[in-house]
């Protein structure tokens, strides 16, 4: 892909060399650079990351790259939405400075082996259902960090485990990048915004609301019920909706992601993943 869509206020860059020549002088001039990595099909959740990034940095770079190495289901990769013109307009409206949209060849010029130790949480939850997913995620995020050399990088709490894995990758390489986790943006009806929501029919969208409903139930009853009861109720709420196939619902320690039974333990998070029709969705809520 070698296209260029230049619009005033937003510069589109397709190559790492192009990025370097634009960003190096800014770095030398002590400008703070923020990176917002995405896979495109942008929505208000992505825009919120750009807006938060603008509050912390002088220059905001958003990357759009559908990274093949993190997909464990080829059909999921094939049907991943790619509305590029719409994305560019959204970033322009958000006042983003640069969008980096490399080709697969640009990011992976030669075949490579990547494996780093991400700690035991790599294999839990998403890591169990999408084996190898976080190796692919950390591989591309490291490449994006090398290409952009950001001071800060912004990620959504919606991908809760992803933020932990990226922090572990940053620690592994001792990278000087500040990782900022940003709040989940929801539709008015509570559904966490996600690029994959585009695949939901109206009925499936309605069914998918049960995920945020179950999380809200747990949050609202956290002070009065035991963890066992909260889990039982949340799972029953989800299983009562036809067409929703639960992968997991857990109440976990927010650092280890291991299940937690002690409500007095610090930083508990409820995390859920389910298939709604053919679309797999995730969501989570902090509990204390």
Ligand X SMILES: Nc1ncnc2c1ncn2[C@@H]1O[C@H](COP(=O)(O)OP(=O)(O)OP(=O)(O)O)[C@@H](O)[C@H]1O
Binding-site residue set for ATP? 39-46, 156-159, 185, 193-196
Which residue from 35, 46, 122, 125 is in contact with ligand X, where contact means CB under 6 A? 46
Q: Of 195, 250, 254, 284, which one interacts with ligand X (CB under 6 A)? A: 195
250 sits near ligand PAF (criterion: CB under 6 A): no
Q: Does 48 bind ligand PAF (CB under 6 A)?
A: no
Report the candidate in 16, 91, 11 with the shortest Cα–Cα distance to residue 54. Answer: 91
What is the three-state SS of the chain? CCCCCCECCEEEECCHHHHHHHHHHHHHCCCCEEEEEECCCCCHHHHHHHHHHHHHCCEEEEEECCCHHHCCCHHHHHCCCCCHHHHHHHHHHHCCCEEECCCHHHHCCCCCCCCCCCCHHHHCCHHHHCCCHHHHHHHHHHHHHHHHCCCEEEEEHHHHHHHHHHHHHHHHHCCCCEEEEECCCECCCCCECCHHHHHCCHHHHHHHHHHHHHHHHHHHCCCCCCHHHHHHHHHHHHHCCCCEEEEEEEEEECCCCCECCCCCCCCEEEEEEEEECCEEEEEEEECC
Contact partner at residue 141 from ligand BAL, ligand X, ligand PAF, none, CB < 5 to 8 Å by partner kind: ligand PAF
Q: Which residues are annotated as a binding site for (R)-pantoate?
A: 70, 162
User: Contact 279/200 with Cβ under 8 angstroms?
Assistant: yes
Tell me how far, at minimum, the Cβ of 186 lies from ligand X, in Å.
7
Instruction: State yes or no: residue 137 binds ligand PAF (CB under 6 A).
Output: yes
Least spacing, CB of residue 187 vs ligand PAF, in Å: 18
| Interaction partner, residue 48 (ligand PAF, ligand BAL, ligand X, none; CB < 5-8 Å by kind) | ligand X
The least distance separating ligand BAL from the CB of residue 84, rounded to whole angstroms, comes to 18
CB of 37 to ligand PAF, least distance (A): 4
In angstroms, the CA 67 to CA 61 distance is: 17
- Of 158-187, binders to ligand PAF (CB under 6 A) are 159, 162
Q: Which of residues 115-134 bind ligand X (CB under 6 A)?
A: none
Residue tagged active-site, from 46, 133, 199, 207: 46
Longest C-alpha distance within the chain, in Å?
58
Binding mask 5-44 for ligand PAF (x = CB under 6 A): --------------------------------xxx-----
Residues tagged in the binding site annotation for beta-alanine: 70
Binding positions: 39-46, 70, 156-159, 162, 185, 193-196
Known catalytic residue: 46?
Answer: yes
- For residues 26 and 22, what is the distance between their CA atoms, to the nearest angstrom? 7
Please report, as ranges, the residues that interact with ligand BAL according to CB under 6 A. Answer: 70, 159, 162
Report the catalytic residues: 46
Please report, as ranges, the residues that interact with ligand PAF according to CB under 6 A. Answer: 37-39, 67, 70, 137, 140-141, 159, 162
Please report, as ranges, the residues that interact with ligand X according to CB under 6 A. Answer: 38-39, 45-46, 48-49, 155-156, 158-159, 182, 184-185, 192-196
């Amino acid at each position: 892909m070698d296209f260029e869509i230049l619009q005033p206020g937003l510069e589109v860059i397709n190559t790492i060399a192009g990025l370097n020549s634009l960003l190096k002088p800014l770095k030398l001039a002590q400008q703070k650079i923020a990176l917002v990595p995405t896979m495109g099909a942008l929505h208000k959740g992505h825009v919120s990351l750009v807006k938060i990034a603008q509050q912390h940095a002088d220059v905001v770079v958003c990357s759009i790259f559908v990274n093949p190495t993190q997909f464990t289901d080829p059909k999921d990769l094939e049907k991943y939405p790619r509305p590029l013109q719409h994305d560019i307009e959204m970033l322009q409206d958000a006042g983003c400075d640069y969008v980096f949209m490399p080709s697969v060849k640009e990011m992976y010029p030669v075949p490579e082996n990547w494996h780093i130790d991400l700690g035991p949480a790599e294999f839990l939850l998403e890591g169990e259902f999408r084996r190898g997913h976080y190796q692919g995620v950390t591989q591309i995020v490291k490449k994006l960090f090398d290409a952009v050399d950001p001071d800060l990088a912004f990620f959504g709490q919606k991908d809760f485990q992803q933020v932990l894995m990226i922090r572990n990758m940053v620690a592994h390489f001792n990278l000087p990048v500040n990782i900022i986790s940003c709040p989940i943006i929801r539709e008015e009806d509570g559904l966490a915004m996600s690029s994959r929501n585009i695949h939901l029919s109206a009925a499936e969208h309605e069914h998918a609301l049960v995920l945020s409903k179950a999380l809200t139930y747990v949050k609202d009853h956290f002070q009065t019920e035991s963890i066992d009861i909260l889990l039982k109720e949340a799972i029953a709420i989800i299983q009562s909706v036809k067409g929703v196939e639960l992968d997991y619902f857990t109440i976990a320690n927010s650092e280890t992601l291991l299940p937690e039974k002690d409500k007095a333990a610090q930083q508990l998070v409820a995390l859920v993943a389910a298939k709604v029709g053919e679309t797999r969705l995730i969501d989570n809520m902090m509990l204390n």
